[in-house]
Amino acid sequence: MKNKIIFVACDTSNIKDIKKIVTQTRTKKLKIIPKFGLQFFYSKKGRKFLEKIKNDFWLDLKINDIPQTAISAIDSLKDLKKCKYITVHVSGGMEMLKAVKKKAKKINKNLKILGVTVLTSLNNKSLKQIGHSKSVKQLVLQQANLIRKSSCDGIVCSAQEALTVRRKYKNLLIITPGIRLPGDNSNDQLRLMTPKDAFKNKVSGIVMGRSLTKGNIQNNTKRLLEHLNK
């Protein structure tokens, strides 16, 4: 199962809790990579922690700005040597995506740029409220095409759109948030799926938060292994 990548969302600014999540989700049976978002990165000690971390990690900043500002943001992260993934919003447009990918190549050849599409907290009704006329699936496919043309490495979308994207873009990294173990609370996510069903939809990796980090982390990791082995 080591070809299945599990990203664990470290959604806290507490360093002690972060260390616990990183340590207790570690297993030889799965490839588990910590994902740090805005809450941790913006915290007083978060940035310094990431400078010294020895594990590969994903920095989920969802950068979305004019091209020059976006590439300046990427350049400012070049000291984070173990950062393997960074997210940008596809809605930033083609020029921003191209510029970010070009800058990433210069500062770290192993750094992968992932384009965030429609957040898993949104659905078709939400998109209409924002002003989009396309459905979630239509918009994600259009954004996946931008990712491919920009030479960015992958896409972040819900597992519900993943199979459609995979059929059209065979070599794209597809990472899916909104993943819960069977029976777990959906919380603020609207487009959900279990880990096993997500991998059946040909995703490259999944993002898991509360299902792994709430309660007994080691037991939750065992639950995940058992679920994937069924």
Residue 214 to residue 43: CA distance in whole angstroms: 21
Q: Are 11 and 205 in contact (CB under 8 A)?
A: no
Could you tell me if 190 and 118 are in contact, meaning their C-beta atoms sit under 8 angstroms apart? Answer: no
Q: Is 96 exposed, middle or buried (0-12, 13-18, 19+ CB in 10 A)?
A: buried
Is residue 93 within 8 Å of residue 120, measured between CB atoms?
no
Q: Which of 44, 45, 54, 62 is catalytic?
A: 62
- 111: Cβ–Cβ under 8 A, 6 or more apart, which residues? 83, 84, 85, 86, 104, 105
For residue 146, the SS3 value is helix
| Distance separating alpha carbons of residues 177 and 206, to the nearest angstrom | 6
User: Residue 12: which residues within 8 A CB-CB, separation 6 or more?
Assistant: 18, 21, 39, 40
Active site residue 62: yes
Residue 156's φ and ψ, nearest 5 degrees, are -110, 115
Class of residue 199 by CB neighbours under 10 A (exposed 0-12, middle 13-18, buried 19+)? buried
Active site residues: 62
